[in-house]
Amino acid sequence: MEKYALDSYLTEIETTITKRGKDETGNFVCLKETIIYPGGGGQPADSAWIENNAILKVQKTNEGIRYYLGIEVEELPDSVSVKIDWDKRFDLMQQHTGQHILARVCEDLFQVRITKEQITVTDSFFEIDDQLNALQLKTAITRSNEIIRQHKNISILFPTEEELAKETLFTTPPKYFDNLRLIKISDFDIIGCGGTHVNNTAEVQALALTQVKEHKKGTTLHFACGNRLLHQFETNQKQLAALTLQTKVPVDALALAFQEQEQTIKYYQTQVALYQVNELVSNAKELSTHFVYSEITDTEPKTLQTAALQLADIYPEALICTATSDEDNLRYHLYQKKADTRHQVGQLIRLVNQELAGRGGGSPTKGDGNIPYLQKDTFLRYLQQ
């Protein structure tokens, strides 16, 4: 019997093993009764132990639920103790009930439809088929926390058809009746759901949005409830305090300060790039007739390209090679103003690749590649010919 479906607060039971076996996944047992949520309906499975042995995997089969263990299951007694990771379970219960509350509030206030829902151990979210503005989102959160504070009882129902017919709270009445399990939040909400829930809205403690992502088909609302919310708040506050101490910028000005800093960094990056282009141009040497080479350490591909273009204005007939070294490689850019029928750049790079274990490619007039730095002298001799 699946006891978690009747009572979400069972953390430990004594039960008997009904089957022991081994399949391609490993050694497993089946249990007469269980308090372990096996996963499904957007809620992950519980972490649990049988006689203090961690369950590695839970799998539903036609013959019942299989619990896989990393031990020889023959060694287990017939009567075993089963225990779940209550901290993890209670966290998921808080998130799942919070999700029912926020979803119903959105449905009631803004006539949206829920299209997807998912709770993991780090993130909870659901999708709605519309977009909500900042004021609507704020209203939904305020309303959800009101519901939480109203201390509404939550019950698990397995209704008869007559009982089901009398329920008027549904936004979408269930399409099936077999094994129908309902989660009812007092006078507020009722929905078909197999998950584990707290038994009073007050146990959700509080609910806040953590992220709102708009997309073509609607919006994804990420949220956190209860202990998870407290924990995230504490962690974030500590991080913010460390940031404000380091930057000496108050919290509400941090985003702007980082934006300004980013602009400053971009400005200096541009200055460095200009300086590097000048270096490449002024250091360039005609190694042979119609071959010009220039190299500096540590620069961006864009800088190599810009310098090559400038050099081509000075040496319009030449094949230009600008290069930079990084770690064990020489990265290069080749450019010639006119497509030379004898030496097309793309072909040259292909030959270099073959001869010198290089990589890269290009068009008749320009291209990029890299070779092991040790091959640099051979590379230059090759291009001079």
Binding site for Zn ion (CB under 5 A): 193, 195
Q: Which residue, 36 or 103, is less far from Zn ion as judged by CB?
A: 103
- Give the shortest CB-88-to-Zn ion separation in angstroms: 17
- Give the shortest CB-99-to-Zn ion separation in angstroms: 7
Residue nearest to Zn ion (CB): 193
The answer to whether residues 124 and 222 touch, using CB atoms and an 8 Å cutoff, is: yes
Q: Which residue, 147 or 193, is less far from Zn ion as judged by CB?
A: 193
Residues, the chain, total? 385
Q: Which residue, 195 or 367, is less far from Zn ion as judged by CB?
A: 195
Q: Up-side HSE of residue 187: CA atoms within 13 Å toward CB? A: 2
State the residue for tokens 């006689």.
51
3-class secondary structure for 127-158?
Answer: EECCCCCHHHHHHHHHHHHHHHHCCCEEEEEC
- Give the shortest CB-232-to-Zn ion separation in angstroms: 22
Q: Which residue, 76 or 156, is less far from Zn ion as judged by CB?
A: 156
- Give the shortest CB-195-to-Zn ion separation in angstroms: 4
The answer to whether residues 277 and 304 touch, using CB atoms and an 8 Å cutoff, is: no
How many whole angstroms separate alpha carbon 290 and alpha carbon 321?
Answer: 11
How many whole angstroms separate alpha carbon 362 and alpha carbon 367?
Answer: 4
- Give the shortest CB-111-to-Zn ion separation in angstroms: 20
* Helices 86-110/226-247 angle, 10° precision: 90
Q: Which residue, 193 or 277, is less far from Zn ion as judged by CB?
A: 193
Q: Which residue, 103 or 281, is less far from Zn ion as judged by CB?
A: 103
Give whole-number Cα distances, 183 to 43, 100, 119, 267, in Å. 15, 9, 17, 58
* Helices 301-314/254-283 angle, 10° precision: 40
- Give the shortest CB-200-to-Zn ion separation in angstroms: 16
